[in-house]
A and B are shown apart, each in its own frame.
Chain A
Amino acid sequence: MIRYIIRRLLYMIPTLIGVSLLTFLLFFGIFSPETVARRNLSAKTPTQEQITTWIKEHGYDKPPVEQFKRHMDSLLRMNFGKSDKTKEVIWDRIHEGALPSFELASLSFLVTLGFGLFLAVVAAYLRGSYIDSVTMALAVVFMSIPIVVYVVGLQFLFGKILKYGPIAGYEPGIWGLRFMVLPVLVGLVSGAGYYVRLYRTFLLDETGQDYVRTARAKGVAENAVLFKHVLKNAMIPVVTTTVSAIPTLILGNLVLESFFGIPGLGSYLVNAISAQDFAVVRAMVYLGTLLYIFGLILTDVLYAALDPRVRLQ
């Protein structure tokens, strides 16, 4: 097990290099150093001299290979340096943006998955009944509406009809959580359907297994059959799919953050792209990848912890 983890961690390095390379290529494929310089200098049309100086300052004049080597070097040391545009230290902004992102991500995650699991258990318990079919039908319908419609619609509903604010923005602290209501609601309505169906499938798959028949033959009560036997087995795929969704949350709530004006890491990144701030972009993507890979490793470890067949090899 330890050996496996170490191997995965080592494997991370080429992946990080690969991702950085990809980001590097993508960014400079879009924006030439000239354009970047122009964007980052003042609003007045910069002179050629100013541009050249800026490029020199930021090291964008060196040959690409050397630039890449330098940037890999600083990334590996987690020294992200300063933003090209605002000259802030990137790490500081990361600190600032981490809390709102984390709030949104964890709330939205817990609410959506929790609700999804709850409905899935209800539907599996009442399988074949009216409630089951209606729940599943609703799940599919809600999944089929684009998220932007929910955003527009709910903002309209809350803003104009119910006159309940706020519908965008952010404030830290407990009272500030009211800013989270709408984004989390949007996340819930658009995402829960998928999880309800997924988890229900896992539960029903287990219910069809032979060991359930044995448990019944022993005289075990139906509740115990579902909540002890089936649930514990179904937890394995539930947890692993859930955990493998976590890495996508890191930067994945990008969409929600930009729609609702939440100053988290996601919108930091999106703004950096439109501002052509490469230093920030590469730092954020790198960070995101790091967390993503950790998430993947965590998934594998959890899988082993939950399934004795994998653990006791």
Chain B
Amino acid sequence: MTPILEVHNLRTYLETPRGRAWAVDCVSFDLTPGKTRAIVGESGSGKSITALSIMQLLPEPAGFVDSGKILLEGKDLLDLTWNQMRDYRGRALAMIFQEPMTSLNPVFTIGNQVAESIVAHGGTWSDGKKRALELLERVGIGQPDMVLRQYPHQLSGGMRQRVMIAIALANRPKILIADEPTTALDVTVQAQILSLMREIQEEMGMAILLITHDLGVVAEMADDVSVMYAGQIVEDAEVHKLFRDPQHPYTIDLLESLPARQHRGKDLAVIEGTVPSATNWPKGCRYANRCQYSTPECTVALPPMVTAANGSLARCIRLEAVHQARATR
């Protein structure tokens, strides 16, 4: 299937008092209708900024997209003006955020805020109100007519996130970007929200870009995974290949350190070292200082994305060596 969104070599920076931080450094991936791609990474890896760059909602006044192409059905979004982009936001492109409490306006009713999605794109308020009722029902909120008149602080976290989803779906988006949608929720609620998202995806055929740091969520939701580290994608694989046959040393170490993989009585496996500073990326591979398979050659130049034996892409020049080392263990 042809991808509906193509990101090519996206570079975004943030101006900080300590200099320019390249939060997103040459990131490329595709989104396919009906499929979910997860971007996984730790805090500070640049995954949220990537999402915000697509929507062009970078934090003011410090964030800027430097270069790259973001093609939505062939059209480069980075060429658009604010008002042209506005046409896409809330219609073809929708986004939900991590903190549903602060993401909803505390002084307007739920009904008002959901209906606004319709009104912002040319609908009338009465259309909006009708659609709001439908949407609240669709996202599984009981007594939607009562909730319409309530305020955000009167709802639970799970309900608020459902409202956010309702807002996002109002105009039948082609792409839904979800930035850590379940991080702020309890585990049980998490499962409900994720299954709701899957249902709707099947029904509407939209592509989902899921940003998360939780590998469990990835396993449940994703079809394709991009692993981000230090502003770059270090591995791009189908989900089952990622878990069964990880290629990049970072992915390998990440999976090793999952609590589920630990053995009773033994020390927890951790990844030694720290992430380099975003204002001062090292010349070569950014994982080299923590990688157990690295050689001096790794620090000379930035490794390109290469295709591994199993078809995944990984940003490493030592893939065969890594594979060998693991096979012999």
Q: Which residues of B contact A217 (CB under 8 A)?
A: 55, 57, 89-90, 94-95, 97
Q: Which residues of B contact A26 (CB under 8 A)?
A: none
Interface residues of B, CB < 8 Å — how many? 31
Identify which of A209, A214, A216 gathers the most chain B CB atoms within 10 Å of its CB. Answer: A214
Q: Are B105 and A233 in contact (CB under 8 A)?
A: yes
Q: Which residues of A contact B170 (CB under 8 A)?
A: 218
Mark contacts of B142-174 with chain A using CB atoms, 8 A cut-off: 1 yes-contact digit, 0 otherwise: 000000000101100000000010010010000
Closest chain B residue to A212 by CB distance?
A: B105
Closest chain A residue to B55 by CB distance?
A: A217
Q: Are A218 and B99 in contact (CB under 8 A)?
A: no
Task: Tell me, yes or no, whether A219 is within 8 Å of chain B by CB.
Answer: yes
Q: Name the distance in Å between B223's Cβ and chain A's nearest Cβ.
A: 24
Q: Name the distance in Å between B128's Cβ and chain A's nearest Cβ.
A: 11
Q: Are A210 and B103 in contact (CB under 8 A)?
A: yes
Cα A306 to Cα B151 in complex, Å, equals: 13
Task: Tell me, yes or no, whether B198 is within 8 Å of chain A by CB.
Answer: no
Task: Tell me, yes or no, whether A255 is within 8 Å of chain B by CB.
Answer: no
Q: Are A308 and B153 in contact (CB under 8 A)?
A: yes
Q: Which residues of A contact B97 (CB under 8 A)?
A: 210, 213-214, 217
Closest chain B residue to A206 by CB distance?
A: B105
Q: Name the distance in Å between A311's Cβ and chain B's nearest Cβ.
A: 9
Q: Which residues of B contact A10 (CB under 8 A)?
A: none
Q: Are A211 and B105 in contact (CB under 8 A)?
A: yes
Mark contacts of B82-126 with chain A using CB atoms, 8 A cut-off: 1 yes-contact digit, 0 otherwise: 100011111100110101001111111000000011001100000
Q: Are B107 and A307 in contact (CB under 8 A)?
A: yes
Task: Tell me, yes or no, whether A141 is within 8 Å of chain B by CB.
Answer: no
Interface residues of A, CB < 8 Å — how many? 24
Q: Are B102 and A209 in contact (CB under 8 A)?
A: yes
Q: A221-B86, A221-B120, A222-B82 are in contact. Are A215 and B153 (CB under 8 A)?
A: no
CB contacts under 8 Å to B, within A229-256, are 229, 232-233, 236
Q: A213-B57, A214-B167, A219-B91 are in contact. Are A309 and B106 (CB under 8 A)?
A: yes
Cα A76 to Cα B151 in complex, Å, equals: 44
Q: Which residues of A contact B61 (CB under 8 A)?
A: 128
Task: Tell me, yes or no, whether A312 is within 8 Å of chain B by CB.
Answer: yes
Q: Are A219 and B87 in contact (CB under 8 A)?
A: yes
Q: Which residues of B contact A229 (CB under 8 A)?
A: 105, 108
Task: Tell me, yes or no, whether A220 is within 8 Å of chain B by CB.
Answer: yes
Q: Taking chain A's interface residues, is the majority helix, strand, or loop, or is none over half, making it mixed? A: helix
Q: Which residues of A contact B121 (CB under 8 A)?
A: 219
Q: Name the distance in Å between B309's Cβ and chain A's nearest Cβ.
A: 40
Q: A218-B167, A232-B107 are in contact. Are A312 and B120 (CB under 8 A)?
A: no
CB contacts under 8 Å to B, within A156-194, are none
Q: Are B120 and A219 in contact (CB under 8 A)?
A: yes
CB contacts under 8 Å to A, within B211-245, are none
Q: Which residues of A contact B154 (CB under 8 A)?
A: 312
Q: Which residues of B contact A236 (CB under 8 A)?
A: 107
Q: Are B117 and A218 in contact (CB under 8 A)?
A: yes
Cα A220 to Cα B102 in complex, Å, equals: 17
Q: Which residues of B contact A312 (CB under 8 A)?
A: 151, 153-154
Task: Tell me, yes or no, whether A137 is within 8 Å of chain B by CB.
Answer: no
Contact of A210 among B86, B89, B99, B107 (CB under 8 A): B99
Q: Which residues of A contact B89 (CB under 8 A)?
A: 216-219
Task: Tell me, yes or no, whether A224 is within 8 Å of chain B by CB.
Answer: yes
Closest chain B residue to A210 by CB distance?
A: B102
Contact of B108 among A128, A232, A306 (CB under 8 A): A232
Q: Name the distance in Å between A145's Cβ and chain B's nearest Cβ.
A: 32
Q: Are B103 and A219 in contact (CB under 8 A)?
A: no
Q: Which residues of B contact A224 (CB under 8 A)?
A: 120
Q: Are B107 and A308 in contact (CB under 8 A)?
A: yes
Q: Are B151 and A309 in contact (CB under 8 A)?
A: yes
Cα A57 to Cα B117 in complex, Å, equals: 77
Cα A312 to Cα B109 in complex, Å, equals: 13
Mark contacts of A291-313 with chain B using CB atoms, 8 A cut-off: 1 yes-contact digit, 0 otherwise: 00000000000000011110010
Closest chain A residue to B88 by CB distance?
A: A219
Identify which of B99, B105, B106 gathers the most chain A CB atoms within 10 Å of its CB. Answer: B105
Q: Name the distance in Å between A211's Cβ and chain B's nearest Cβ.
A: 4
Cα A224 to Cα B117 in complex, Å, equals: 12
Q: Which residues of B contact A233 (CB under 8 A)?
A: 105-107
Cα A209 to Cα B152 in complex, Å, equals: 15
Q: Which residues of A contact B116 (CB under 8 A)?
A: 215, 218, 220
Q: Which residues of B contact A218 (CB under 8 A)?
A: 89-90, 116-117, 120, 167, 170
Q: Which residues of A contact B90 (CB under 8 A)?
A: 217-220
Cα A218 to Cα B117 in complex, Å, equals: 6
Q: Are A216 and B57 in contact (CB under 8 A)?
A: yes
Q: Which residues of A contact B167 (CB under 8 A)?
A: 214, 218
Q: Are A211 and B120 in contact (CB under 8 A)?
A: no
Closest chain B residue to A232 by CB distance?
A: B107
Cα A312 to Cα B151 in complex, Å, equals: 9
Cα A221 to Cα B82 in complex, Å, equals: 10
Q: Name the distance in Å between B17's Cβ and chain A's nearest Cβ.
A: 17
In the assembled complex, 20 residue pairs joining A and B whose CB atoms fall closer than 8 Å, in A order, are A128-B61, A211-B104, A214-B97, A217-B89, A217-B90, A217-B94, A217-B95, A217-B97, A218-B90, A218-B116, A218-B120, A219-B87, A220-B116, A233-B106, A236-B107, A306-B107, A308-B106, A308-B151, A308-B153, A309-B151
Query: 6 nearest interchain CB pairs?
Result: A219-B90, A218-B90, A210-B102, A219-B89, A211-B105, A220-B120
Other A-B contacts than A214-B103, A217-B94, A217-B95, 19 sampled, CB-CB below 8 A, are A211-B106, A213-B57, A214-B104, A216-B89, A217-B57, A217-B90, A218-B120, A219-B88, A219-B90, A220-B116, A220-B120, A224-B120, A232-B105, A232-B107, A307-B106, A308-B106, A308-B107, A312-B151, A312-B153
